[in-house]
Amino acid sequence: MRVFLISIFFMPWWLMAQSNYNLENFGNKSILLSGNVTGSVEDLGLTYYNPARIAIVENPVFSINAKGYQLNQYKLKNAFGLNRNLSSSDFQGVPSMVAGTFKIKKLEEKHLFAYSFLSRTRSNLDLGYSTDDISLNNLDEIDRLANNIRLKNKISDEWFGITWGMKIKDNFSVGISGFASIYSARSSNDVHYASIDDNGTVKQYNNEISYGQNSYGLFWKLGLAYIFPKFELGLNIDLPYIEVVSNGRFSYQEFLSGFGEPTDIFEYYKYEGLNAQRKEPLGISVGAGIPLKKSKIHLKLDWHNGVPSYHKITIPSSESDIDEISQFQFVEELNQVFNFGAGGEFFINDKYSAYASFSTDFSAVKNNANIFDVVDDESTDVNLSANFFHLAGGMDMSLKWGHLVFGVTYSHGHSSFQHNNYPKILDVDDVLKNNADIDYTRWRFIIGLDIPIFNYNLRFQ
C-alpha cells in the first residue's frame, strides 16, 4: 500500500525542470544575454558556450561569475481536489563560475587555454508540512486526520574544465572544452498519517523512502567560430555524457497499523551499491552576433537529442509476498527539443552598456525518474514537466580596474499533474483523480566582476 504525497505543492525547481537545458547560464554578460551567445560570447562563459571563441576574443579576462541570489515562488491550484490554492517560496544562492586564461610557454602563441569551475547544478532543500485540517467530505466515520510530511533533496553537479582554442585563420578558430563532472543526488520522503474514528480506534501509516545516486564522468564541447565582415557565427556541439563510475542506493519502510489482519503492513528494505546510470544527450547550438554600430544583437538556436527509456537506478526484486519494491521504477525517457532566444547589447556611452534578452526552455521529459513515481499509486505515472521562458536585463559598468556587471533575470514555468483526493489510510474504495496545476516563478539578482589584470598572472611552463 502506497500513499500519494499530499505535500505535492512543494514540487521544487530541480524536480519540475530536471530535463530542461537552459536553466543555468555562466559568464557575467552571458547571463544577462540569457545564454544566447554561441556565436558571440565575449566573456569566459565561452568555456561553456563555445570554446573556439577563446582564440577570437581579444582579451578574455579572469572572471568571477555573478554572485547571485534567487527568489523561488511556487503556487499549487486545486490542491487535493478540494479547490485549495497553496503557495510556497524560498530565497537562496545560485550556482556560480570562476574562470581564467593561461598560457603554456612551449606551445605557439596561437594556442590559447582557459580553466573553469562551474556549479552546473546545486540545490539543497528541506521542506516540511503538517496539518490536521484536511476536509473529509463524506467520510463521516473518520473523526480526525493528521499528517506530517518531510521532503529532503540535495543535488550537486560540479564541473572542472580545461579549454583549448586555436586560430586557423584570422577570422576562423576551433576549440574544445573538457569537463570532469562530479554528480551527487540525495532525496528522501517521509510520510506519517494518523486517524481516529468515532469509536476511538487509531490507525497509523508511516512511509519512508530515500534514494541516492553518484556519477563521475566527462562532458566534451566542440566549438567553431567565424567572423564575417558584418556578423559573427558560432557552432557548439555538446557530446553525450561519458560515465566513468556510478552507483546508487535505495531504502524503503512502510508500516500500517490499526486495520488488523490481513491489512496491517510491515515492510523494510535497504540496498547499497545498486546499478545506476546517468544519461545526457547530444546537443547542437548555433548562434550569431550582429553588430549595430556600437551595439549588438545576439541570436541562438539549439537542439538536444532524445534519450531512449532507461533505468536511472535499478531496484532489485524482494522476496516479499506483496513485493512492493519490484514496482518501483526510476525510469527516464527524454524527447528531442528545440529552443531559441535573442538578446540585445545596447551601447549608452563609454562607461555604460545595457542588456536585455529572452530564451525558451522547453521540457524534454517524456518519462522522468523522481521520488514521486515511487510514492504515487501504482497506476499513475507522475510526469512532471514544465516549459520555461527566461527574461534578463542589466548593466555593464566599465571601471578603471575592470568591469562590474549587475542585473536581474526572471523565469516562469507551468505544469499539470493528476493526483488522488485522499490517502489510502482513509480506506476509500473509490479514490477520485483530480488535476492540479503548478506555477513556478524565479527571480535572480546578480552581480559579477571581470578583472583584466589576472589574465597576465597565470602561466605554466
Judged by DSSP in three states, 143 sits in strand
Kindly state which CATH superfamily the domain 8-460 is placed in: Outer membrane protein transport protein (OMPP1/FadL/TodX) (2.40.160.60)
C-alpha–C-alpha distance, residues 118 and 219, integer Å: 12
Residue in 236, 207, 215 with CA at minimum distance from that of residue 224: 236
pLDDT digits (tens, 9 = 90+) for 328-376: 678 888 999 999 999 999 999 989 999 999 999 998 887 765 544 444 4
Q: Is the pLDDT of residue 296 over 60?
A: yes
Which H helix or E strand runs over 331?
strand 330-334
pLDDT band of 385, cuts 50, 70, 90: low
Residue 132 has a CB neighbour count (10 Å cut-off) of: 11
Judge whether residue 290 has pLDDT over 60: yes
pLDDT exceeds cutoff 60 at 135: no
> If 0-12 CB within 10 Å is exposed, 13-18 middle and 19+ buried, where does residue 116 land?
buried
d(CA 168, CA 147): 65
User: CA-CA distance, 365 to 249, in Å (whole number)?
Assistant: 23
- The residue type found at 426 is L
What does the pLDDT look like over 161-203, one tens digit per residue?
Answer: 999 999 999 899 999 999 999 999 988 888 888 888 777 888 8
Whether residue 46 has pLDDT greater than 70: yes
pLDDT bin (cut points 50, 70, 90) of residue 322 is very low
Q: What are phi and psi of 8, to 5 degrees?
A: -60, -20
Determine the pLDDT at residue 375: 45
Domain ranges of the chain: 8-460
Q: What band does 70 get if pLDDT is binned at 50, 70 and 90?
A: low
Look at 372 and 282; give whichever has higher pLDDT. Answer: 282
Q: How confident is the model at residue 436 (pLDDT cuts 50, 70, 90)?
A: low
The reported pTM is: 0.81
Mean pLDDT across the stretch 118-137? 67
Which residue is listed with cell 546517468?
A: 278
If pLDDT is split at 50, 70 and 90, which confidence band does 19 have?
confident
Say yes or no to pLDDT of 244 above 90.
Answer: yes
Average the pLDDT over each of 14-18, 312-316, 390-394 and give the range with the smallest value. Answer: 14-18
Beta bridge partners of 206: 192, 255
Residues 88, 449: Cα–Cα separation, whole Å? 33
Q: Are strands 202-227 and 242-257 parallel, antiparallel or unpaired?
A: antiparallel
In sequence order, what E strands does 94-231 have?
97-104, 111-131, 142-169, 172-197, 202-227
CA dist., res. 23 & res. 20, Å (int): 6
pLDDT value, residue 218: 98
pLDDT at position 302 over 60: yes
